Amino acid sequence: MESGPDVRTWAAPAKINLALHVTGRRPDGYHLIESLAVFTRFGDRIEIAPAEGDDFTVSGRYAPDVPPDGNNLVLKARDALRQAAGLRSTPPVIIRLEKNLPVASGVGGGSSDAAAVLRGLADSWGLDIDSAELARIGLSLGADVPMCLAEKPLVARGIGEELSMVPDFSALGLVLVNPGTPVSTAEIFAALSRRDNEPLPPLPRFIEFHSLRNWLEITRNDLEPAALAMRPAIGRALSWLDKAGSGFSRMSGSGATCFGLFETGNVAKRAAAEIRSRQPDWFVAATRSIGSEAE
C-alpha cells in the first residue's frame, strides 16, 4: 500500500460468527438468523486517494481470487454511494484493496471491504451522511454489510440487518484457520435439514474468555454440520485448533474459516505458529478481536 498526503487507509476486519442460529425463513427465501459476531484486528485494508479518473487495484495474498470488475463489492459500494450522493459530490478516486483474507471463507471479507469503502468514501468526499443512511446503502449490497459497518461486538437478527451492540465485551485472543477450500453460502443454506432452530440463549452480563467459552458450549453454528459434510477439510482445521490448545473451536459463518478461542494473545500466537508449521499452505492468523470499548 502506498502513502502520501492525500492517501488514507481504512481497516476491513474479518467478521467472526462466534455463534450462528438459523431460526426461520422468509417467504422470499432469505433465512432468519441470530448471531453473535465480533471483528478482528486482522483483515483486509482499503486505501483511497483522489484521481483524474476512477481506478481499482488489488494486492495481497488473495488478490488473484478477487474479481476486478463490477462484480466486486468494493466497486458496487463506490457506485451505490455515488448514486445516493450525486456525481457532483463524488469526484473520481483510486481504490486499492489489500486482500489478506481468503475469498468465500465465512468471515465477511467482501462485505467488510464494502463497509470500509462506504466509510472511507463518505469521509474522503466529505459527505453529510449519517450511519443509518450508510447502513441502508450497505444493506442493498448484502446482508452482512451493515454489521461490518458497526465493527463492534453485536448480535445480528433478521437476515442480519437488525443489530444490537453488546457492551462489556472484552477483546479475545483468536486463531483463524482456513484449509483453502472455498464454500458457497447458498449451497450450505440449501443443504440445511432444519431451519426453525432455537434462538440464542441470553448472553452473560460481562463477556471475557471464561464466561464466553461457557456460553459458547450451549450455542451452535447451525451451518457447520452441512459444511462439514460437504467440505471434510473443515473438520481437519477444527482438529488442528483443538490440538494447539484452543479453549473452544468452531466454524465461522458458512465456512471454511474456523476460529479457536485462546486465553491470551501470546498463547494464540504460539498456537498459530504450531499450526502453520504443520500446514504451511493453509491460511492461519493469530489476532485479537475488537472489544466493545475499543477506541
The residues assigned a catalytic role are: 15, 144
CA–CA dist 18, 40 (Å, integer): 12
Report the relative pairing of strands 93-98 and 55-59 from DSSP bridges: parallel
Residue at 56: amino acid letter: F
Look up cell 479475545; give the residue.
172
Distances in whole angstroms, Cα of residue 245 to Cα of each of 174, 216, 238, 264, 284: 12, 16, 11, 12, 15
Q: Which residues contact 106 (CB under 8 A, 6 or more apart)?
A: 17, 183, 185, 251, 252, 253, 254, 255, 256, 257
- Pairwise CA distance, residues 144 & 138, whole Å: 8
Which pairing describes strands 154-157 and 173-178: parallel, antiparallel, or unpaired?
unpaired
Per DSSP, 169 falls in state B
